[in-house]
Structure 1
Amino acid sequence: MPQALERAEGSWAWVVLLATVVTQGLTLGFPPCLGIFFTELQHEFRASNSETSWFPSTLMAMLHAGGPLCSILVGRFGCRATVMAGGVLACLGMVASSFSHTLSQLYIATGLFTGLGLCFSFQSTITVLGFYFTRRRALANALASVGVSLGITLWPLLSRHLLEHLGWRGTFLVFGGVFLHCCVCGAVLRPVATGTAPETTNGPPPPPKTPAPGCLAACGRFTLRHLAFDILWHNAGYRVFTLGVVWMVLGFLLPHVFLVPYAVRHGVDEHRAAVLVSIIGFSNIFLRPLAGLLAGRQGFASYRKYLFSLAVLLNGLTNLVCTVSADFRVLVGYCLVYSMSMSMIGALLFQVLMDIVPMDRFSRALGLCTILESISILISPPLAGFLLDSTDSNFSYVFYMSSFFLLSAALFMLGGFCALRRKKQEKQALQAKEAVPERALTGEGTDSAERQLWTETMYVTSV
């Protein structure tokens, strides 16, 4: 007996939203707490800053690089099964990492398996949320991102408490059990009825009775089918957004990894240093819904991408505060201001992508965007760790590096979006000018009723 489909914008959509909030807290809220284990792992394995930095970078890179594989699984098995499989995989990765004896084993267990499992759970819930909400999609995305804020608030406090009593191995073992809650969240993601037609391939069908294609041709078609390279090539807005975000990520994640080690190195107590990350998360609980409500207003619909670029610009300027002082009160102020820009980025990131790309292509577009982001995520913390090793652990250079990437990415996206808007306006004006003499010529020798009708049509076109 076929299963009944849920209705978009119905009552069950809010249950799905709640499951998305919890899942985002478990997945995207987890990486910022890894900085708490940075010094502990560095002493345990007697590793340098650069070597230890590969631990959070591999996990965060897989959290994004698994996008295309997640897109394939969602298309084949649905969002519910993909989220539950992700929870099991993340659990197994954390349990295996608690038995690691080298950093290489930790990279594989936590970075590969846990990162991939978190990716499956996170991206599947984001995809299904876009189908459950249409009119209130901006608000739903903002409310869902509150889960990230809750995760950033609670994960550091839980990590610090468990690290003191159980050590990092016991803490990772407990984390494995926590990630199984993703399976519970995935169980409530019922299939939803959508009005979107399935995406069709534009290419001609292969001729009949031809030999099977070679491995290279099959891989090429597979890549084009599941990665949005066609969208990247033809959609200029998606191209500007993707390149800007990939460049932005090189600096955006550095404070999440190095803020706690930076504060501890300058004499801040370890408990108070962990509280700094929780301050960022707690502030985002209130700021993200406000940012989502603001971005969801009809008057801001066409300006969301510009607001996103300005938020990235503010985020880059804020990081310069850490280069001035490492006093705890200054760092608290930095975390509060940083939360404002971070909440705007978190509330607008997926909404801007949904504005640029149609929903039937969103999963593929998100997959390509995240796999490109993963390259930046993979090299950014080790690059900053190498910078620390080369400058005798001078953390100011890390925050200078973060600000450079964020500011340049914001200026690139602002300039790109403004140029595309100007080009679109010029094209529309040119089409309107070309339409005037054509209509005037066509209207010669007609009665007054037809002239009146064509005049009204021309007025609508000019508007």
Structure 2
Amino acid sequence: MPRALERAEGCWAWVVLLASVVAQGLTLGFPTCLGIFFTELQHEFRASNSETSWFPSILTAMLHAGGPLCSVLVGRFGCRVTVMFGGVLASLGMVASCFCRSLVQLYVAAGFFTGLGLCFSFQSTITVLGCYFTRRLALANALASVGVSLGITLWPLLARYLLEDLGWRGTFLIFGGVFLHCCVCGAILRPVAPSVALETRKGPSPPSKTPAPGCLAACGQAVLHYLAFDILWHNAGYRVFTLGVTWMILGFPLPHVFLVPYAMRHGVDEHRAALLISIIGFSNIFLRPMAGLVAGQKNFASYRKYLFTLAVLLNGLTNLVCTVSADFRVLVGYCLVYSVSMSVVGALFFQVLMDIVPMGRFSRALGLCTILESISILVSPPMAGFLLDNTDNNFSYVFYMSSFFLISAALFMGGGFCTLWKKERQAPRATGEPAVREAAPERAHTGEATDSCEKRQRTEIMYVTSV
């Protein structure tokens, strides 16, 4: 973005940032309250734990898997239209879920459509920050992440309050109206440069002598464009990180889904059980931005991936606390320690990936990573539900399962990064030349001006995840 344009949009940029904060709270913070409805849905549809677990897993998986499609919509219609379309889609999904008579219908309405709508609204509001901020982009992303923490704090309290008076159907109907506020956030995102939007919409004109590719060829080109299989094959660091994160996600979301049912089963009051998730969200309001700003310092560039690994390891070890005691005071302490590791994992995820992958390929690398994440998120809660059904609802096994995936993923990534570091140090001794890093320079977004918002969108279009 030209600096003159940045100065012209400087005041409105903070309004856009506020809209991004609200949109993140409405979208990415929402799945954390689904555990409150777990018991109600199970009784309503007379379903097993495994069958009920598919609902939050499908919604959260779509929140991640829709990234490439969101990128296409943003490039074609712009961020404003995509955010508003996502809000309407999420709202219609929740309203339709009020009339569902089976879990399969709930999977489609509230799981698929609402999850996809939340993905469109969330990812577009993150993308637009790159059009309004250059020098303060790191600060803007750190402040925008506060919205996620606010959502994690407020959604469980609102859900518990509405569930008592309206039931789950009435609550979902109210949620449908709440998601329409994404349209308000989208209306604030006025285009920065109309000429850029026109160029993005039209796109480069193909050579006149080149025949148009067939349907299968076009689909193959689209897949190769958005998914970085070539980077996965040639970049060992990216391979270690992606496989480790995919394995980690099998255990990472389980506390958000099963912590409330676990506490209620052991005699904790419904309101206090819902408060546990809010404690995690409230702690993240302060911890996540601090972790993001600290991680952005140049002094941490060489240690970020190891700090990320330690945070994953701490997260896995913390979950073992729930296998020892279900006392409310113990669970409060668990939530506070869990918040620390969760904040560091969320803050360092993008930074570590930027250190490993050249920025020219960052969008594609993140696209493949989020697709693999969505697969893990899709199967993780049903796996835990199946475990509950076969262990007489013993929630301790769920937290053992979560700890296993997190600890083993941390050990795999830590061992992989150390092995690659040793190879890099041994390479100059063997060849007598300096080692060549696979990754690009550490800095992802510089303060240098770009020629247009379109170029920044190509870098940041996939700059999201639910971690």
Same fold (TM over 0.5): yes
Counterpart for residue 454 of structure 2: none
Counterpart for residue 53 of structure 1: 53
Counterpart for residue 16 of structure 2: 16
Counterpart for residue 227 of structure 1: 227
The correspondence of residues 313-328 of structure 1 with structure 2, limited to 5 A, is 313-328=313-328
In the TM superposition, what is the alpha-carbon distance from 1:321 to its structure 2 partner? 0.2
Q: Which amino acid aligns with 1:53?
A: S
Q: Which amino acid aligns with 2:262?
A: Y
Alignment CA distance shift 1:409-1:399 (3 Å):
same
Measure, in 2, the Cα distance between the counterparts of 1:8 and 1:318. Answer: 48
Cα deviation digits, residues 99-141 of structure 1 (max 9, x gap): 1111111000011100001111122223333454455444333
Measure, in 2, the Cα distance between the counterparts of 1:359 and 1:188. Answer: 29
Counterpart for residue 343 of structure 2: 343
The correspondence of residues 170-319 of structure 1 with structure 2, limited to 5 A, is 170-191=170-191, 213-319=213-319
Measure, in 1, the Cα distance between the counterparts of 2:58 and 2:433. Answer: 55
Measure, in 2, the Cα distance between the counterparts of 1:407 and 1:334. Answer: 17
Measure, in 2, the Cα distance between the counterparts of 1:228 and 1:303. Answer: 25
Alignment CA distance shift 1:139-1:309 (3 Å):
farther
Task: Check conservation: 1:127, 1:363, Cα contact below 8 A.
Answer: no
For residue 251 of structure 2, give the secondary structure of its aligned residue in structure 1.
helix
Counterpart for residue 449 of structure 2: none
Counterpart for residue 123 of structure 2: 123
Task: Check conservation: 2:427, 2:434, Cα contact below 8 A.
Answer: no
Task: Check conservation: 2:24, 2:122, Cα contact below 8 A.
Answer: yes
For residue 47 of structure 1, give the secondary structure of its aligned residue in structure 2.
coil
For residue 101 of structure 1, give the secondary structure of its aligned residue in structure 2.
coil
Measure, in 2, the Cα distance between the counterparts of 1:378 and 1:208. Answer: 44
Measure, in 1, the Cα distance between the counterparts of 2:161 and 2:262. Answer: 20
Cα deviation digits, residues 130-172 of structure 1 (max 9, x gap): 4544554443333222111110100000000011111111111
Alignment CA distance shift 1:412-1:14 (3 Å):
farther
Task: Check conservation: 1:250, 1:377, Cα contact below 8 A.
Answer: yes
The correspondence of residues 357-372 of structure 1 with structure 2, limited to 5 A, is 357-372=357-372
Pairs aligned (count): 422
Give the structure-1-normalised TM-score. Answer: 0.85
Moved over 6 A (4+): 205-208
Q: Which amino acid aligns with 1:293?
A: L
Task: Check conservation: 2:296, 2:351, Cα contact below 8 A.
Answer: no
The correspondence of residues 401-420 of structure 1 with structure 2, limited to 5 A, is 401-420=401-420
The correspondence of residues 392-407 of structure 1 with structure 2, limited to 5 A, is 392-407=392-407
Counterpart for residue 382 of structure 2: 382
Measure, in 1, the Cα distance between the counterparts of 2:53 and 2:27. Answer: 19
Give the gaps of 5 or more residues in structure 2.
Answer: 194-204, 436-467
Task: Check conservation: 1:6, 1:191, Cα contact below 8 A.
Answer: no
In the TM superposition, what is the alpha-carbon distance from 1:225 to its structure 2 partner? 1.7
The correspondence of residues 148-187 of structure 1 with structure 2, limited to 5 A, is 148-187=148-187
Alignment CA distance shift 1:353-1:141 (3 Å):
farther
Q: Which amino acid aligns with 2:381?
A: P
Task: Check conservation: 1:283, 1:339, Cα contact below 8 A.
Answer: yes
In the TM superposition, what is the alpha-carbon distance from 1:36 to its structure 2 partner? 0.3
Q: Which amino acid aligns with 1:29?
A: G
For residue 251 of structure 1, give the secondary structure of its aligned residue in structure 2.
coil
Q: Which amino acid aligns with 1:343?
A: S
Counterpart for residue 422 of structure 1: 422
Measure, in 2, the Cα distance between the counterparts of 1:31 and 1:8. Answer: 37
Larger Rg: 1
Q: Which amino acid aligns with 2:324?
A: V
Task: Check conservation: 1:68, 1:226, Cα contact below 8 A.
Answer: yes
For residue 221 of structure 1, give the secondary structure of its aligned residue in structure 2.
helix
In the TM superposition, what is the alpha-carbon distance from 1:192 to its structure 2 partner? 5.2
Measure, in 2, the Cα distance between the counterparts of 1:328 and 1:135. Answer: 45
Alignment CA distance shift 1:8-1:298 (3 Å):
farther
For residue 410 of structure 1, give the secondary structure of its aligned residue in structure 2.
helix
For residue 167 of structure 2, give the secondary structure of its aligned residue in structure 1.
helix
Task: Check conservation: 1:279, 1:335, Cα contact below 8 A.
Answer: yes
Question: What's the RMSD between the two structures over aligned residues?
Answer: 2.6
Alignment CA distance shift 1:124-1:424 (3 Å):
farther
Measure, in 2, the Cα distance between the counterparts of 1:384 and 1:368. Answer: 25
Q: Which amino acid aligns with 1:267?
A: G
